[in-house]
Structure 1
């Protein structure tokens, strides 16, 4: 006879996180949660209205973990650079959850805290409230999208990744110069570009824009 489990929202989210990490978010069902927790699946409904609420709780927990680590003594630009790097790192570490955060609004404390941190940095940079609101969306949407892409790529099987990566030094460099003169001119540099470099350039462009907007206030 199984011991009775005193269900709490935290226990349910813990179990949902394990299921998502081990089998993917699509495997996260109320029935699967009941089995994971050793309870009748209907017991889950005493704490959550439906599966979607649980999915958003799982995703929001990841955002809370990101904000928890934010150093308190960073200048506004360094804060946003740190957040961008940490979002990518966290998404890569949790590929089953990353697509949810790239598409959904969790409407929970983790998301609110992340928005507060981003907006605080943008207002510290000197942006007006209206411009801070716009640049928050630009920063958040851009970083989340890039992080989800890198997460999905990292989760691919190794042979597929190797094929894609070798294309920069093989197929691109083998293209005929007359037909693709611009590619031929720069192809030798493609293979040395790291994801971290792309992220730095991407975030740098966003933050340079913030500085220009702040200077014009």
Structure 2
């Protein structure tokens, strides 16, 4: 796409597309997410989006500077969907847990988009609201600002890193997913105790645990660490 986006107030296309829809930024993002889910990164092209929308590809210039601008909009949309319906309870641990799981679940629901967007910083409406909300929860615990910021950094990077890793696994074709899981039995299940005593001793537990995401437990470990720091601050340490 060329860098000639139209200002927001003048960007709406008045005539319906061939599918009978009026083109909008929201419609383009929704369509792009659907195409990315079906075809991966190559779906983010003017030609494919225009065809899916029933619009001239050049019409997309009115809404996005380029494909990277559109990708940032997709990333922000995932963040926004993760926040839909969330209401803080005042229990910082419960609220952070809920936000973390929402972010992780939303990216797992859109694994192809998560692979493209989980590592991006959008600076857009949904992201800035999420940053404000999480920082507010952390500062509300009494943590000093330098520590609240570091905890925010650890919290959101943990959620997005697991989201990206688990999305990569979810985006694999089913035969590849099953083959990866079978490695635990085909290889690790046959390692002898004399050379790999710890794997041999824990293998049944290891094979079972590796079938799911490590995020829920990792999140609890981080929440425990935050609770420890909150307690230290409360004691004046």
**Any idea what SS the aligned residue of 2:28 has?**
helix
Q: Deviations over 1:103-131 (max 9, x none)?
A: 21111111112212221221222211111
Partner of 1:131: 147
Partner of 1:144: 160
Q: How many residues align?
A: 217
Partner of 2:101: 85
C-alpha separation in 1, matches of 2:127 and 2:83:
9
The gaps in structure 1 that reach 5 residues or longer are none
Q: Deviations over 1:43-75 (max 9, x none)?
A: 211222111111111221111111113233251
Is the deviation greater in 103-112 or in 36-45? 36-45
**Any idea what SS the aligned residue of 2:176 has?**
helix
C-alpha separation in 2, matches of 1:135 and 1:176:
41
C-alpha separation in 1, matches of 2:161 and 2:19:
43
Structure 1 residue 115 and structure 2 residue 131: aligned? yes
Answer yes or no: is the 8 Å Cα contact 1:15–1:37 preserved in 2.
Answer: yes
Partner of 2:189: 173
Structure 1 residue 210 and structure 2 residue 226: aligned? yes
Partner of 1:201: 217
Q: Deviations over 1:129-155 (max 9, x none)?
A: 111111111111111111111122122
Answer yes or no: is the 8 Å Cα contact 2:112–2:171 preserved in 1.
Answer: no
How far has the Cα of 1:2 moved from its partner?
Answer: 4.8
C-alpha separation in 2, matches of 1:198 and 1:209:
17
Match 1:47 to one of 52, 60, 63: 63
Structure 1 residue 38 and structure 2 residue 54: aligned? yes
Is the deviation greater in 186-195 or in 111-120? 186-195
Query: What is the CA RMSD across the aligned residues, in angstroms?
Result: 2.2
Q: Deviations over 1:3-34 (max 9, x none)?
A: 88643222222222222222223321122222
How far has the Cα of 1:187 moved from its partner?
Answer: 1.4
Q: Deviations over 1:56-107 (max 9, x none)?
A: 1122111111111323325111111112222221111101111233221111
Is the deviation greater in 204-213 or in 9-18? 9-18
TM-score by length of structure 1 reads: 0.89
Answer yes or no: is the 8 Å Cα contact 2:33–2:74 preserved in 1.
Answer: yes
Distance 1:161 1:126, change over 3 A: same
How far has the Cα of 1:180 moved from its partner?
Answer: 1.1
